[in-house]
Amino acid sequence: MDMLRIERVSKVYGGQVAHRALNDVSFAIQEGEFVGIMGPSGSGKTTLLNVAAAIDKPSGGQVWINGKDPYRLGKNELARFRRRELGFIFQDFNLLNTLTVEENIVLPLTLDGARVKVMEERAARLAKRLGIEAIMKKRTYEISGGQAQRTAIARAIIHQPKLLFADEPTGNLDSKSSRDVMELLEAINRTDGTTMMLVTHDPLAASYCHRVIFIKDGQIYNEIHRGSNRQAFFQKIIDVLSLLGGNAHDLSTIRV
Amino acid sequence: MTFRQFAFNNVLRNKRTYAAYFFSSAFSVMVFFVYAVFAFHPGLAGGALHSQVATGMHFAEAIIYVFSFFFVLYSMGAFLKSRKKEFGLMMMHGMTDLQLRLMVSIENMLIGFFATIGGIGIGLVMEKLILLLAENLLELEETLPFYVPVKAMGLTFAAFMVLFMVISLFTVSILRSSGLIELLKSSVKPKPEPKASFLLSLLAAALLAAGYGIALRVRGTAVAAALIPVSVMVIIGTYFLFTQLSVFLVRLGKRNRGLFWRRTNLLLFSDLAYRMKDNARIFFIVAILSTVAFCAIGSLVGFKSMYVGILTKENPFAMQYQSYPGQARETEELHVGRIREVLEEEGVAYRHLVAELKYAAPAGSERPVMVIGASQYNALAEAAGLETFAPGDREAVLLYYANPAVRSRSDEGLRVLELPEASAQLDVSRSLDSYLFPMYAQVYVVPDAVVA
């Protein structure tokens, strides 16, 4: 069953010179799949994620998440849909700095009006799993980038979403934290069966996916599948990227 | 963490962001409260003048309230604008519109409540100072003692609670229009360069120059006629001064590289244009608000000195007894005798002067005129410290009364006073402004022989 289906989606940004960020893009993500989206800067990766995640309405085409068109839902239905079925992880974490780590984690449940007892239990369980028990009472400016991203992941999965969107989750992290985060996402995908859509230009992060879709100039360029070997998959990703003619800095050679 | 705790934590842990909004709210509460303290002062309760002062203050209060409303609304708007990304994030995590409204309302009421209490508190501390200032400014003879302004506190509290509640409703509509992506991207979206229209800048300068020019020039009755056009011109001019002219001048300054590229000028000028444009409305409201406040006090001082002037000028004599035709001589003498008795009992020194004004029907005029003998007039005029004169046998002088409040002129009298009853024909040789007989618009002073 398709968890996310994108059909002939295009997005045009108005202004004095109209810019076509997405042009007739179609693909689908199966339930339980872990899909990466890659492409050079300005290729439309983030636009695609925003359109797919019901953040930015497409100019044309249709989006189906778990069989529903989020752009056709009423305001309150959409809010409920977001807080029950979707999870988000961002490059700059986007934690609310007025709240403690624990409060940030339980936010989606709070908005849903869950019981305090349930929230506490789930937060404690997640903290243990993600190794952030020690910082639960701290405020967001007191923790490191890696801890912040783990907090954001906890917040994104506490309500057990069906579909998780991640926009460059390793973009602001050092290589050790990046690896931790990607292993965590992989583990969540494997054990909870959460479907994931990951936008990245880090080939190492992309190598954790089952499948990577490459886009260029707002169109799908190529798609490669992972075999059993992550190392070989990583090499394949690098090959496609150089073929794509992405700028040199898109290939983080330091990590190899 | 329940939703309510979430909303409370948001405010309490983020004091610095909320402080600007809090203080601007508390400031407008304080201004309002101080005016209420003055308007409700028990020392101003009695007397014709005092009730006028209180009415004036209540009127100023209403204007201050209206402008406070806009002031708080704009502060709130600016405050919410800076938090758009936060709202976008919350909506992304599934916050409904209703929850967002509820949160903003709770926050707003929380800040509003403390701002009201804080504003009243600061106002109470400043109360005596303000009262002293008012005493001196309005030249009130009695002192205004410190009192606990229960009424003013009640009014301020109720008025601002209502204000914050209404503003909570308004703010929601500010947020509703923007989509999720705009909210999320708002903090990184570059601001367009502020632009100013040359014509509107010119208009601002012209309106301000003309408005203040007229205000300085007009005299007399023209003031009332000029009041509204001048106010409108100055208000529009002030608005464009902040939104257009200021930006225009900054741009003009930027064009001159010798000036613009000198040390910190580079940063100063490029920032200033944005700051001006962003805060133009707030500047405008504060400018108008303080103008209204100062003008209200100024007008009250003006009215006060005018009323006192009229009262003392038009009543040169401490006591007047008037008797009209139809009253018996005896009654009249009885009354005057009684007055003398009381004055003597109390040991008050006095002079007694009599003036007999008579109606005379001049030839060629439908209405009778009032005449007084020259010697009686001179006795009164001397006592009141006015000019005396001795008209010739065939001469009369017209005294007309000009009301200082309305400046109605009634100096156009008869040129020739022909009185067939007294078989006299008199030339009206002079006419002069006099307030000796404020009851009558025109009185003719005639030779004693004519009225004898």
> Given A76, A103, A108, which is nearest B93 (Cβ)?
A108
Answer whether B3 sits within 8 Å of A110, measured CB to CB.
yes
State the pLDDT confidence band at B151, using cuts at 50, 70 and 90: confident
Q: Give residue B39's domain range.
A: 1-189
Decide which of B86 and B138 is more confident. Answer: B86
Q: Give residue A242's domain range.
A: 31-56+74-255
List the beta bridge partners of residue A35. Answer: A197, A211
Residues in chain A with CB shorter than 8 Å from the CB of B3 are 110-111, 113
CA separation (Å) from B422 to B201, B363, B448, B452?
72, 11, 11, 9
Grouping H, G, I as helix, E, B as strand and the rest as coil, residue B334 is helix
For residue B181, pLDDT over 50 is answered with yes
Answer whether B94 sits within 8 Å of A97, measured CB to CB.
no
**Lowest pLDDT segment from A50-54, A199-203, B65-69:** B65-69
Tell me what the mean pLDDT of segment B358-374 comes to. Answer: 79
The tokens for B423 are 């078989």
The tokens for A192 are 């909870």
Examine residue A9 and state whether it is found in any structural domain, yes or no. no
Residues in chain B with CB shorter than 8 Å from the CB of A57 are 179
Alpha carbon distance B406, B402 (integer Å): 8
For residue B219, pLDDT over 50 is answered with yes
Answer whether A57 sits within 8 Å of B91, measured CB to CB.
no
The whole-chain average pLDDT of chain A stands at 87
Examine residue B319 and state whether it is found in any structural domain, yes or no. no
Examine residue A223 and state whether it is found in any structural domain, yes or no. yes
> Given A55, A107, A111, which is nearest B184 (Cβ)?
A55
- Helices and strands (H, E) in chain A, number of each type: 8, 9
Which of A43-47, A149-153, B82-86, B418-422 tops mean pLDDT? A149-153
Shared-domain flag, residues B32 and B154? yes
For residue A35, pLDDT over 90 is answered with yes
- pLDDT of A256 reads 43
Chain B interface disruption, residue of A47, A111, A121, most B CBs within 10 A: A111
Answer whether A79 sits within 8 Å of B6, measured CB to CB.
no
For residue B286, pLDDT over 60 is answered with yes
B187 touches A: beta carbon within 8 Å: no
Alpha carbon distance B153, B121 (integer Å): 10
Alpha carbon distance B229, A147 (integer Å): 65
Shared-domain flag, residues B238 and B161? no
For residue B182, pLDDT over 80 is answered with no
Q: Which helix (H) or strand (E) holds A159?
A: none
For residue A247, pLDDT over 70 is answered with no
The DSSP symbol for A68 reads B
State the pLDDT confidence band at B412, using cuts at 50, 70 and 90: low
Q: Return the sign of the alpha-carbon dihedral for residues A94, A98, A100, A105.
A: negative
Examine residue A23 and state whether it is found in any structural domain, yes or no. no
For residue A92, pLDDT over 90 is answered with no
Model confidence over A171-188: pLDDT tens digits? 888 888 899 889 999 999
Alpha carbon distance B395, B415 (integer Å): 11
How far off is chain B from A156, nearest CA to CA, in Å?
A: 9
Residues in chain B with CB shorter than 8 Å from the CB of A56 are 179-181
- pLDDT of A33 reads 93
With both helix axes pointing from N to C terminus, report the angle between B3-12 and B97-137 in degrees, rounded to the nearest 10.
40
CATH number at residue A185: 3.40.50.300
Tell me what the mean pLDDT of segment A101-116 comes to. Answer: 88
- pLDDT of B48 reads 52
The whole-chain average pLDDT of chain B stands at 79
Single-letter amino acid, residue A172: N
> Given B1, B94, B184, which is nearest A79 (Cβ)?
B94
B182, closest residue in chain A (CA to CA):
A56
Alpha carbon distance B432, B424 (integer Å): 22
B318 touches A: beta carbon within 8 Å: no
The tokens for B351 are 């002079």
Grouping H, G, I as helix, E, B as strand and the rest as coil, residue B116 is helix
Placement of tokens 């502060």 in the chain: B75
Alpha carbon distance A225, A240 (integer Å): 12
- pLDDT of A230 reads 86
Shared-domain flag, residues B84 and B11? yes
Share above pLDDT 70 across residues of chain B, in percent, rounded to a whole number: 86
Examine residue A24 and state whether it is found in any structural domain, yes or no. no
Q: Phi first, then psi: what are they for A223, rounded to 5°?
A: -150, 130
Alpha carbon distance B280, B74 (integer Å): 11
> Given B13, B92, B95, which is nearest A55 (Cβ)?
B92
With both helix axes pointing from N to C terminus, report the angle between B97-137 and B265-314 in degrees, rounded to the nearest 10.
50
- pLDDT of A244 reads 80
State the pLDDT confidence band at B160, using cuts at 50, 70 and 90: very high
B97 touches A: beta carbon within 8 Å: yes
**Last-in-domain residue among B314, B344, B361:** B314
State the pLDDT confidence band at B367, using cuts at 50, 70 and 90: confident
Examine residue B385 and state whether it is found in any structural domain, yes or no. yes
> Given A82, A94, A116, which is nearest B94 (Cβ)?
A82
Examine residue A15 and state whether it is found in any structural domain, yes or no. no
Q: Phi first, then psi: what are they for B272, rounded to 5°?
A: -60, -40
Tell me what the mean pLDDT of segment B38-64 comes to. Answer: 68
Grouping H, G, I as helix, E, B as strand and the rest as coil, residue A132 is coil
The tokens for B65 are 């309230």
The tokens for B123 are 């106002």
**Last-in-domain residue among B134, B159, B189:** B189
How many beta-carbon pairs below 8 A join chains A and B? Answer: 77
For residue B408, pLDDT over 70 is answered with no
Answer whether A79 sits within 8 Å of B14, measured CB to CB.
no
Examine residue A187 and state whether it is found in any structural domain, yes or no. yes
How far off is chain A from B170, nearest CA to CA, in Å?
A: 19
Contact B414, B367 (CB under 8 A): no
Residues in chain B with CB shorter than 8 Å from the CB of A112 are 94
Examine residue B339 and state whether it is found in any structural domain, yes or no. no
Contact A96, B86 (CB under 8 A): yes
State the pLDDT confidence band at A26, using cuts at 50, 70 and 90: very high
Could you give the number of structural domains in chain A?
A: 1
**Lowest pLDDT segment from B71-75, B184-188, B214-218, B352-356:** B184-188
Alpha carbon distance B65, B44 (integer Å): 22
Shared-domain flag, residues B212 and B236? yes
Examine residue B323 and state whether it is found in any structural domain, yes or no. no
Tell me what the mean pLDDT of segment B4-19 comes to. Answer: 79
State the pLDDT confidence band at B138, using cuts at 50, 70 and 90: low
Instruction: Report DSSP letters for B366-402, one per residue.
Output: SS-EEEEEHHHHHHHHHHHT-------TTEEEEEE--
Q: Return the sign of the alpha-carbon dihedral for residues B241, B242, B246, B248.
A: negative
Tell me what the mean pLDDT of segment B224-241 comes to. Answer: 83
